[in-house]
């Protein structure tokens, strides 16, 4: 018999009647939002491991959930709708806490519906969002979704106006890229940047120039559809996972332009080109609102080489997520296992096995960027929370004889029970996994 026991989750959240498709931490880790195949959304209070709000947001499966500030929740369902709900802390008081498992519960009230976008959900692709500018106003948002008519194209909408600003089709119509499978939208050096992964296994990075979207990177790494992608917190690379066993690390290039032959012979031309490059970067950095994009005279060079690829020997890893410190990432496996990898080397760090059926979603809590930011945690996964203790604050197996833990324990005793629970919920290194069994396992890792 092995002296090491398999890792166990700290808590298990039971309440969904059907598969959990989405898990997302919101409100500075005090809440976990989960969405299922019936369109139900549950907002879990992680200080007590109980629901605070339950409603049916869509008439079909949930594809994506995100917060927008502290008082708005965005949900994306397979009923061809993307909805923005008003749901602050005070609004939770009016919400039902009857879980989807309770079929006898009366009809649950919905939060106040602020906006609805009618979108294409044939792709099974969740939305992506970012502020409307690199220095954002808090009340505006850009949302990217697959195009309604062309499944290979992407629409970019602006909220709250609900205007469609861009329709992006990266490549010729004759090219067989297949459907858009995963998206990421963000600002980099003052430019709006879009990452698109396709059914064919292709991944593309494009950047909005003065008028058109310029492709900066494209690579065909996967032999089967890309299932998920995520962006490094520093925006230097992104990762993709697919229906095959490949996980790939791709660059997010900055725009570089071909050098003309006339620029080589004379030093003056080199200085001119250098000055032009500096002015372009300066203009990009100073374009706070992103409204004045530096003009481009030529198409940028397209990079085609990924940074690294690995064959994990495990097909069907989806919902790939990189933690906020950029040190580790995790995937949800069709084989029921959650795998944790080191981001730098892409080597497998841990396999978390608790669910008996396939996992569809993983999410990391945002780490507190304090003095110990990024420091690996001690392994406390061998301590399994009992049914009764799931409603209490999570405990750890760290001995109080150790000085750091003793200091933390001393500080915690000075707080009220409520404040202690909030503090621990905010600071726990949570990894949440949603499964086909309708359960969510919560792990405190690294």
- Domain boundaries defined on the chain: 11-258+294-444
Check residue 239 and give its pLDDT: 98
Check residue 300 and give its pLDDT: 84
Beta strands at 246-251 and 180-188: parallel, antiparallel or unpaired: unpaired
Query: Exposed/middle/buried for 293, CB within 10 Å: 0-12, 13-18, 19+?
Result: middle
- 344: which residues sit within 8 A by CB, 6+ positions away? 327
The structure tokens listed for 119 are: 């979108």
Peptide bond into 145 cis (omega under 30): no
Query: What does the pLDDT look like over 271-283, one tens digit per residue?
Result: 444 444 434 444 4
CB 118 within 8 A of CB 157: no
Check residue 137 and give its pLDDT: 63
How crowded is residue 356: how many other Cβ atoms within 10 Å of its Cβ?
10
Check residue 206 and give its pLDDT: 96
For residue 14, the cross-strand partners are: 439
The structure tokens listed for 234 are: 């520093």
Residue of 112, 118, 16, 26 lying closest to 65 (CA atoms) = 26
Check residue 426 and give its pLDDT: 72
CA–CA distance, 84 with 73 (Å, rounded to integer): 6
Within 57-162, strands assigned E span 62-67, 72-77, 81-86, 112-118, 128-130, 141-146, 154-159
Q: For the chain, what percent of residues have pLDDT higher than 70?
A: 77
Give the domain 11-258+294-444 fold: Methylamine Dehydrogenase; Chain H (2.130.10)
CA atoms within 13 A on the CB side of 75: 33
- 395: which residues sit within 8 A by CB, 6+ positions away? 383, 385, 389
Confidence (pTM)? 0.81
CB 132 within 8 A of CB 142: yes
Q: What CA–CA distances, in Å, run from 245 to 224, 226, 242, 294, 333? A: 9, 11, 7, 41, 10
Mean pLDDT by 10 residues, the chain (446 residues): 73 96 93 97 95 97 95 96 96 96 93 94 91 77 93 94 94 79 95 96 94 93 97 97 97 78 45 41 43 59 95 96 97 96 96 96 84 40 33 35 53 66 78 97 92
Using CA atoms in the order 268, 273, 274, 278, what is the torsion angle rounded to 10 degrees? 140
The structure tokens listed for 5 are: 């026991």
Check residue 287 and give its pLDDT: 44
Check residue 399 and give its pLDDT: 37
The DSSP annotation for 398-442 comes to --TTSHHHHHHHHHHHTS-HHHHHHHHHHHS-EEEEEETTSEEEE
Check residue 280 and give its pLDDT: 43
CB 111 within 8 A of CB 73: yes
Check residue 411 and give its pLDDT: 56
């Amino acid at each position: 018999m092995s002296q090491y026991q398999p890792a166990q989750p700290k808590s298990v959240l039971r309440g969904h009647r059907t598969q959990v498709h989405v898990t997302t931490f919101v409100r500075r880790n005090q809440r976990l939002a989960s969405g299922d195949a019936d369109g139900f959304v549950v907002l879990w209070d992680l200080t007590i491991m109980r629901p605070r709000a339950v409603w049916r947001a869509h008439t079909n499966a949930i594809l994506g959930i995100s917060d927008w500030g502290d008082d708005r929740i965005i949900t994306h369902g397979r009923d061809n709708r993307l909805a923005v709900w008003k749901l602050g802390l005070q609004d939770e008081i009016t919400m039902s806490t009857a879980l989807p498992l309770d079929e006898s519960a009366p009809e649950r009230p919905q939060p106040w519906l602020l906006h609805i976008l009618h979108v294409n959900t044939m792709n099974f692709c969740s939305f992506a969002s970012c502020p409307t500018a690199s220095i954002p106003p808090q009340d505006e948002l850009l949302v990217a979704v697959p195009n309604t008519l062309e499944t290979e194209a992407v629409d970019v909408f602006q909220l709250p106006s609900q205007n469609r600003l861009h329709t992006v089709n990266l490549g010729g119509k004759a090219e067989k890229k297949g459907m858009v499978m995963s998206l990421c939208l963000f600002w980099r050096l003052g430019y709006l940047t879009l990452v698109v992964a396709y059914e064919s296994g292709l991944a593309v990075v494009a950047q909005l120039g003065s008028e058109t979207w310029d492709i900066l990177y494209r690579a065909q790494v996967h032999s089967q559809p890309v299932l998920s992608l995520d962006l490094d917190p520093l925006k230097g690379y992104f990762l993709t996972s697919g229906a095959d066993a490949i996980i790939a690390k791709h660059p997010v290039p900055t725009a570089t332009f071909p050098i003309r032959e006339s620029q080589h012979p004379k030093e003056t031309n080199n200085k001119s080109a250098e000055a032009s490059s500096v002015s372009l970067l300066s203009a990009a950095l100073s374009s706070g609102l992103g409204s004045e994009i530096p003009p481009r005279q030529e198409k940028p060079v397209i990079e085609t080489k990924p940074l690294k690829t690995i064959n994990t020997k495990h097909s069907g890893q989806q919902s790939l997520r990189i933690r906020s410190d950029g040190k580790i990432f995790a995937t949800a496996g069709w084989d029921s296992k959650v795998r944790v990898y080191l981001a730098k080397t892409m080597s497998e760090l841990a396999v978390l096995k608790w669910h008996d059926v396939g996992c569809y979603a993983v999410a990391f809590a945002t780490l507190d960027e304090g003095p110990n930011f990024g420091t690996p945690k001690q392994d406390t996964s061998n301590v399994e929370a009992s049914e009764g203790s799931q409603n209490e604050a999570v405990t750890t197996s760290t001995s109080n004889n150790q000085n750091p833990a003793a200091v933390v324990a001393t500080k915690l005793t000075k707080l009220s029970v409520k404040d202690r629970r909030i503090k621990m919920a905010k600071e726990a290194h949570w990894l949440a996994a949603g499964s086909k069994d309708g359960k969510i396992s919560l792990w405190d890792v690294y």
